[in-house]
Structure 1
Amino acid sequence: MLPDTSLRRISVDGVRVDRDGRAILFDMSVELDSARIAVIGANGSGKSTFARLLNGLVEPTAGRVSVHGLDVARERSAIRRRVGFVFTDPQAQILMPTPAEDLALSLRGRSREEIAERVSSVLAEHGLTETADAPASALSGGQRQLLALASVLITEPALVVADEPTTLLDLRNARRIGDLLLAQPAQLVLVTHDLELASRCDIGVLFDEGRLIAVGEARDVVSRYRRMCG
């Protein structure tokens, strides 16, 4: 069960992000507390920059970002424990030679017995048991993205931020990853070009040329974006 909305509020207040002397995200303020939040817009519109603000991968040039009551700039360690980030390319986050080792890495600091039990359970849950000790490099694209997602979910984050996690996948695997993201219990911020998947979220957030231009019911925001794309 998701926590009370007061405990899952994402607040972005007067945020601007500059890179190489130019603004890539302009004066943005928004508060979001819905369970499933879709972030849409064209390439280069600011979607991924917004997503990376939520766990400190990108620092604002001006303004403040807080997630679930935590100041992202000041409470970085607590934010990293609370927010799980799923990248577009799973190779960016698969760090160990095998799936079992990669999942175990996410649980470092826990007892050996707990790690073994959790890794075995998660491998079974996601249909990866037979590949537990296989080279991660030998996995299919769908299996690699599934492993990358599982390595985030195994830590039981309160917020999952997924940056175009289905872009590199075929239709079947894209649907599988999308269904899994929408079904997990944490709050979800989903950056996606898959407008059908975005429409299944509660709220849509639309970016255009570095500006937040719409927030509302996901289907309404998706419809607006479709009209923009004409």
Structure 2
Amino acid sequence: MDAIYLLRETGVGREEALLALRHLHPSTRKALISTDHEPRRRAQGRFFEAAAYELLKKAGDERSCISRIAAWGADVCEYGGSKKGIWYSRDGGIRICADGAIAAEVDLLFEDNNGVIFFAEATISHSPAFAFTEEVERKRGLLSDLAGGREVQFLYIAPTHPPQGLSPLFEAGGSILIRPDILDLIGEVEEVLGSPRKKRSVPHPKMIHGAALFQQEVKLEKREKRVLFPYIQRFFLK
């Protein structure tokens, strides 16, 4: 079973929805049931991204074909540091830095058991094909430089099928994951959207600092001693 097939087959429910809420600001959670279309749509997009991350973690729990997952959102214990390679923003977003500046951002980042690195876009709205294709290829190039020749693939996660104009992305080094059920999870947690929820980190055996995906020596230490995760974060953010 490969990583993409596993993500297609892994179910999500109320537990993953509640975990996804950890990553959302209180105002974003409330906006999920707003009568105003624009803020509700933005909040749904953020929830979709958070729930896709929780799907990735659940799939990683179930099978070995997902070997390592870059921490995201509330699971990022530290942020900032020098802008080099993978860098985390204050809200736990994954950024790619080059020449001391932020060059791009990715929604999710993980590795399969063959050493292939995947970067994912989790979205509920399809972008214009030409500009989006250029953006994806630029991110692939930046990550390939960091990966030192290892294979880098793109994963597009959405509730609906993308337009035909995006098909070139999936013909070489790209995959599609269509999960309309992720947005349906909002109905599972509507009654608690207004309650306070701390942005706490939830431990996961395959969760690492994103920079560790591109550092072989950290990879070996991480597999031997999982307790090194906080140390690895401090090391890469110095």
Using the size of structure 1 for normalisation, the TM-score is 0.34
Using the size of structure 2 for normalisation, the TM-score is 0.33
| Larger RCO (CA under 8 A, 6+ residues apart) | 1
